[in-house]
A and B are shown apart, each in its own frame.
Chain A
Amino acid sequence: AAGVIQSPRHLIKEKRETATLKCYPIPRHDTVYWYQQGPGQDPQFLISFYEKMQSDKGSIPDRFSAQQFSDYHSELNMSSLELGDSALYFCASSSKTSSIFQETQYFGPGTRLLVL
C-alpha cells in the first residue's frame, strides 16, 4: 500500500538559511499534518490542512509557513533557520471521517533537519 512520502529525507542548512520540506499524502487522503520532533522529545503538532485550507494551527513559529496544493501535497517553508530548529519533521495524512477525533494519522518517514 502507498504510504506518505516526504522529501528530502535529510537536510543540512546553515543558520539564517531557508528550507522547504515536501509531503505527498496517501492517495485519497484529504488532510495533512505537520509535526516537529526534537531530539529525545515527543512529536509536537505544528499545523494541518484539510482540502487545501488551514484547519488547525499549533506551536508553529512565525518564521515557518505551510500550504497544501491542489494535488494535496503540502510544503513546509522554514526561514531564518535557528540551531533549535534541528529536529525530525513528520508529515502525516488522514482521511476525513464523521468524527474528527477518530481519524487515524499515517506518518511519513520524516525529514531530518540539521541546522549548523
Chain B
Amino acid sequence: AQKITQTQPGMFVQEKEAVTLDCTYDTSDPSYGLFWYKQPSSGEMIFLIYQGSYDQQNATEGRYSLNFQKARKSANLVISASQLGDSAMYFCAMTGETSGSRLTFGEGTQLTVNP
C-alpha cells in the first residue's frame, strides 16, 4: 500500500517570499509518480507539477519546483516569490506500479500568503 504524509496542516508565508511544503511518501513500488495539486477555496483541483521516480532532475514548472530526495522518500514543493493568489490547500499525491494510475493523496497543507 502507498501512503503520503503531509506534516504541515497550515503554513504562512509573506508575499514575495519562497515557501516549502513538505511531503513524504511510503511505497514498495520501484517505479512511481509524484504529483502536487492546488485546491483554492472555490474547490477546483489544479495540477501543478509531476516528478517520476526515475527522473534524474527535479521537476520545475514556472514558480513551482519539486525537491525530490528519493533516498529520503520526500517530494517537497517549493513555491518561489509567493503571491496572494497562492493561498490555497496543497495536496501531494502519488501513483505506482501496483496501484496503477489511481491517485493516493496526502491530507493537504493549507497555505496562507500574507501581504
Contacts and interface: CB of A to CB of B under 8 A. Distances in A.
Interface string B101-112: 111111110000
A51 B33 CA distance: 22
Given A99-B31, A100-B95, A101-B32, A110 B100 contact: no
Given A43-B103, A101-B97, A101-B101, A106 B47 contact: yes
Interface stretch (B18-26, B37-45, B67-75, B77-85): B37-45
B105 A42 contact: yes
A101 B108 contact: no
Contacts of B104: 45
Contacts, number: 74
A76 interface: no
Q: What's the dominant secondary structure at chain B's contact region?
A: strand
Interface residues of A, number: 28
A45 B46 CA distance: 16
Contacts of B99: 101
A42 B106 contact: yes
Interface of A: 31, 33, 35, 42-45, 48, 55-56, 58, 88, 90, 92, 94, 99-110, 112
Given A33-B101, A42-B108, A108-B44, 4 more contacts: A35-B103, A101-B100, A103-B33, A105-B103
